[in-house]
Structure 1
């Protein structure tokens, strides 16, 4: 990554070799991820140091790195507490315990971590401070079912939601109403201690109630909202969960338990900040960045087709800008697995790219990289992948049909055969997906 890039404005398209383009795309992606590193951003958002105890709790893919960054920023403050992160995302800390649990489907460790965190904030006083470190992935990692619902039932619901095509906002609405810790219940348990929540956003719109299902954020949705989502996607809930939602929906909404008046919530990293960091890399190379938004949703394959059309418009018509240009977007698309389908290996980003490549059909001068900023696209070990004008032709020489792989939701396997996966390992942060489409 140390190769310097001559500004594209003084560099004809034919001088951009495939290897040069790959380096450039990876530089933009890495810059986007680096902009969300807790070690780069957390220290400047810390609250005033407390007079009493300082308790640290947290959940998410970035929870361990956020805890380590907090310890580095406050070496003179006695810190205690516990955070939970995804398997493989832990890192060393001095005094804050780091637990690991399963993601995206919770396990018994997720339930125990939630119990540990709730117990950690109980019995505090008004002079004490709770710092809650929240990032994407916390919904699965803090899986404490509401009374009457078993963990196995929660896991069944999580799997069904993941395959339903529901958005992250919709999934987390349901999760909050079936939880004993989400939807502000963690902040309520900490009362009368003050809670300062530091958030790395991974959701469209940066709604703090959606990120990790908002354990310290008052829930403004209702059980009826959750039931509407269940009906929309024709989901069959376990009887206990269905009964709980129907019971709550039929009861007049009660006042929530108290929280401290001095509670605060601060976004320390967001998808838009990450896209701006990637855009800065593009500008320095003389490439015009077009940020299409940080909250794009919808079916991954449909998004791939849409982006291919926009890229063609730039190349063929110079609209909305002339090449060289790069389309940047964030957010979280979905991959819907229909009943009876047996999907292969893949994730949102590799499915987006394979659909994009198929739609482009070898169009010259267009490359794309898409990846999850946490380093894990879906459940596989790649952040995402990269395509170029020769992707389909290379696959065909190996006997690979992009159409067949796409139908099987097996995009990971396709790009693995081409050695075009983007491998970063766990990045210890998470600002959702980063999509980059370069037009020369």
Structure 2
């Protein structure tokens, strides 16, 4: 299948009549040494801007027993007075959102007599997340589970999901009290691998195998989530149905952090709280398009039927974090540093290497004397793997293609960033790459780059040849709002 890259139209019109760059265009490394420092600032600023613990302060407040959610010019208010409140959550960014939520709740409780309490809660997050403030979780009766090592569903994911389902069943079916009930859920990217409850006869091992096959075939995240949804007891709105179908005395408020282009709530985390729209992608068509062979009993699971249960008035889904917030923080930072900003948008997609070439083309054809320019964008690319391949990630592969395409131009006045926000680019321990040409980039390194790119072995290349270019966040960052791309010129 040929993937068509999504890239701003204006940048697709870059002159095809490329001319060699005159030697006077080269800048000394000393003159442009600050570029990589600025890219490091960009990455850290973006991560901080979407950290739930920081962001919740600006979005959620409590007043007289009500939870108030403010997003730009929109305000939503939910009455929690006299209700049993439960909190559940899952994803790479759930801990930050949970801590921010609890701190906002404690600020309310410290200043008023009408205290709001969490009756019980469970959150599920990836292995490797630095879990701090356990005392805060314990004070509010919240238990933390860990799973999905290397962003793949595992038995720990199943245990955590079953714990959440058991909590829901004990509250809804057990009817522990006659008081109205509110479930507040926090859903972020990564929930697809953490909220895991395969439908029989599908096993976790088989589901994981089929997921990896789809990814290797070049399946986009939207397509992948559509297929995984029909194989699960919790995805595609089924978690919400579990909460709301049994009783009219229950309400559900879902706060969602988007890691998907366009913020489609039915795709984020495989949409556990969002009923599938009528025009949902057809899972069987996706499987057949990528020529994936599956057993007939597994194919039979790929028939999603939208439920007729009348729960819409008690189900509330709200996007509170997305990639645009990160890009806006970058714009503010680079404006302060006197850069001209060219915003490429946050819907960049397609083959990672193709996008690397597009950014290289911008650098190779940019006019001299334009001053400091910052091209920024966000999105999520793919890498279509061959049968035999090495180790890498989409950001590493994009940067590797950029290196190859610009090597002969020796563009010391440019630096390029391709970085994830979750701290883990593919099955590797790094977030991405910050690259700038220097005299250290020899012809031997250039030749090695081409070999490693052809083998989709970008991580091996960067770790063996240019480890100083690798972005190491020390593990998962606790946030996840797609990738960010930035090209700087001085």
Q: Within 2, Cα distance between the matches of 1:132 and 1:169?
A: 22
**Displacement, 1:21?**
1.3
**Displacement, 1:18?**
4.8
The equivalences for 1:277-316 within 5 A come to: 277-315=329-367
- Name the structure 2 match of 1:45: 60
Alpha-carbon RMSD: 2.3
Question: Which of 241, 252, 257 is 2:309 aligned to?
Answer: 257
Number of positions where the alignment pairs a residue of Structure 1 with one of Structure 2: 417
- Name the structure 1 match of 2:146: 100
Q: Within 2, Cα distance between the matches of 1:439 and 1:224?
A: 40
Question: 3-state DSSP class of the match of 2:262?
Answer: helix
Which range moves more in the overlay, 144-153 or 175-184?
A: 144-153
Which range moves more in the overlay, 121-130 or 229-238?
A: 121-130
- Preserved contact between residue 368 and residue 437 of structure 1 (Cα < 8 Å): yes
Which range moves more in the overlay, 285-294 or 119-128?
A: 119-128
- Preserved contact between residue 173 and residue 221 of structure 1 (Cα < 8 Å): no
Question: Which of 172, 185, 188 is 2:241 aligned to?
Answer: 188
- Name the structure 2 match of 1:326: 374
**Displacement, 1:262?**
3.4
Question: Which of 454, 459, 465 is 1:412 aligned to?
Answer: 459
TM superposition score normalised by structure 1: 0.89
CA deviations 1:97-128 (Å, max 9, x no partner) are 11111142211111222222122223347721
- Name the structure 2 match of 1:9: none
**Displacement, 1:15?**
8.3
Structure 1 residue 27 corresponds to structure 2 residue 41: yes
Question: Which of 403, 414, 417 is 2:450 aligned to?
Answer: 403
Q: Tell me: CA distance 1:254–1:106, structure 2 relative to 1, closer, same or farther (3 Å).
A: closer
Question: 3-state DSSP class of the match of 1:344?
Answer: coil
Question: 3-state DSSP class of the match of 1:114?
Answer: helix
CA deviations 1:111-159 (Å, max 9, x no partner) are 2222221222233477211111011011011111123211112111111
Question: Which of 144, 168, 173 is 1:121 aligned to?
Answer: 168
- Name the structure 2 match of 1:5: none
The equivalences for 1:42-121 within 5 A come to: 42-43=56-57, 44-45=59-60, 47=67, 48=78, 50=80, 51-75=82-106, 76=109, 77-79=116-118, 80-89=120-129, 91=131, 92=134, 93-94=137-138, 95-102=141-148, 103-121=150-168
Q: Within 1, Cα distance between the matches of 2:308 and 2:167?
A: 21
Gaps of 5+ in 1: 1-11
Larger Rg: 2
Question: 3-state DSSP class of the match of 1:431?
Answer: coil
**Displacement, 1:364?**
3.6
Q: Tell me: CA distance 1:16–1:136, structure 2 relative to 1, closer, same or farther (3 Å).
A: farther
Q: Within 1, Cα distance between the matches of 2:156 and 2:442?
A: 41
- Name the structure 1 match of 2:393: 347
Which range moves more in the overlay, 118-127 or 358-367?
A: 118-127
The equivalences for 1:130-169 within 5 A come to: 130-169=183-222
Structure 1 residue 210 corresponds to structure 2 residue 267: yes
Structure 1 residue 381 corresponds to structure 2 residue 429: yes
Q: Within 1, Cα distance between the matches of 2:278 and 2:442?
A: 47
**Displacement, 1:14?**
5.3
CA deviations 1:271-310 (Å, max 9, x no partner) are 0111111111111111112111212111100110011112
- Name the structure 2 match of 1:36: 50
TM superposition score normalised by structure 2: 0.80
- Preserved contact between residue 32 and residue 413 of structure 2 (Cα < 8 Å): no
Structure 1 residue 176 corresponds to structure 2 residue 229: yes
Gaps of 5+ in 2: 1-25, 62-66, 68-77, 110-115, 173-177
- Name the structure 2 match of 1:422: 471
Question: 3-state DSSP class of the match of 1:333?
Answer: strand
**Displacement, 1:311?**
2.5
Question: 3-state DSSP class of the match of 2:344?
Answer: strand
- Name the structure 2 match of 1:4: none
Q: Within 2, Cα distance between the matches of 1:220 and 1:149?
A: 24
Structure 1 residue 433 corresponds to structure 2 residue 483: yes
- Name the structure 1 match of 2:403: 357
Q: Within 1, Cα distance between the matches of 2:152 and 2:342?
A: 35
Deviating above 6 A after TM superposition, structure 1's stretches of 4 or more consecutive aligned residues are none
Question: 3-state DSSP class of the match of 2:441?
Answer: helix
Q: Tell me: CA distance 1:395–1:88, structure 2 relative to 1, closer, same or farther (3 Å).
A: farther
Question: 3-state DSSP class of the match of 1:205?
Answer: coil
**Displacement, 1:323?**
3.8
Question: 3-state DSSP class of the match of 2:102?
Answer: helix
- Name the structure 2 match of 1:3: none
